[in-house]
Amino acid sequence: MTAIAILGGTGRQGSGLALRWARAGHEILIGSRMPDKAVAAATALRAPPNENLAIRGVGNLAAAETCEVAVLSVPYHSQRAVLEEVQAALAGKVLISVVVPLKPPDLTQAWRPPAGSAAQEAQEILGDQTRVIGAFHNVSAIHLADSSHPIECDILVCGDDDAAKAVAVALAGCAGMRGFDAGPLTNAGVVEGLTALLIGINRRYRVKSAGIHLTGV
């Protein structure tokens, strides 16, 4: 069992990942800037038939201090403030960023921040003591929340540390998906940008949960 902190885990993406990882036997710490909000989210996730799952809500800093692996699941505009608060607590740990930088008003156009990607910016903020991985950007929160069917979406994992990428690949597997090593962290901008592409496909084809699936592998 791994203790996983989901920083900003009260949203749909973070909550969906939390539920699937908890069902796989991991201990989940839902983090939020407002601890009461995190407690409420954790309580909702433990509603029957999930009342025995190891999910609890705390503040972001407490979650980062307690965890073995952290997941950053916040809007892009919030990531710097969250990471600066937990920087010391994440030293020596793996951070998986699911953050996608989107630039209103047109969320269907890929946009890269000055660092190249949200994940690369997170690495710059945290420094070399934390191993930052980019993953889980392209899976629909609708699929994550519905455990009644397999998720037909593959997870592209980017990072500069092979052992850290292996952690993300393993977490994809226990959440019911296939994880693939997608190369160095510099590739994260490509993977993050696919989310804008998928938003456009969802709108044009009137669907809610388009995803990425690798063929021939």
Q: Which residues of 45-80 are buried (b: 16+ CB within 10 A; e: fewer)?
A: bbeeeeeebbbbbbbbbbbbebbebbbbbbebeebe
Residue type, 9: G
pTM: 0.95
Q: Hunting for tokens 């070399």 — which residue is that? A: 128
**Rg (the chain; Cα; Å):** 16
Residue 145 is predicted with a pLDDT of: 84
Which domains can be identified in the chain, with CATH numbers?
3-204 (3.40.50.720)
**For residue 150, pLDDT beyond 80:** no
Q: Which is it for strands 55-59 and 27-32: parallel, antiparallel or unpaired?
A: parallel
Q: What's residue 142's pLDDT?
A: 85
Looking at the chain, the whole-number percentage of residues with pLDDT higher than 90 is 84
Write out the two tokens for 21. Answer: 């990882």
Q: Which two tokens stand for residue 78?
A: 């919030």
Average pLDDT over residues 51-66: 96
What is the per-residue pLDDT across 59-93, written as a single tens digit (0 to 9) for each?
999 999 999 999 999 999 999 999 999 999 999 99
Task: Look at the block and give the residue holding tokens 């009461």.
Answer: 36
- DSSP H or E segment with residue 65: helix 60-66
Tokens of 190: 């490509």
Phi/psi for 160 (5° steps) reads -105, 5
For the segment 192-210, the average pLDDT, to the nearest whole number, is 92
Q: Which of 158, 77, 155, 73 is nearest to 111 (CA)?
A: 77
Task: Say which residue, 96 or 209, is predicted with more confidence.
Answer: 96
Smallest Cα–Cα separation from 159: which of 127, 198, 186, 195?
Answer: 186
| pLDDT at residue 147 is higher than 80 | no
Query: Is the confidence at residue 197, as pLDDT, over 80?
Result: yes
Least confident span in 75-79, 177-181, 213-217: 213-217
Q: What pLDDT shows up at residue 141?
A: 86
Model confidence pLDDT, tens digit, residues 89-144: 999 999 999 999 998 898 889 889 999 999 999 999 999 999 999 999 999 888 88
- How big is the chain, counted in residues? 217
**35-51 mean pLDDT:** 94
Mean pLDDT (the chain) is 94
Average pLDDT over residues 153-171: 97
CA gap 21, 9 in Å, rounded: 13
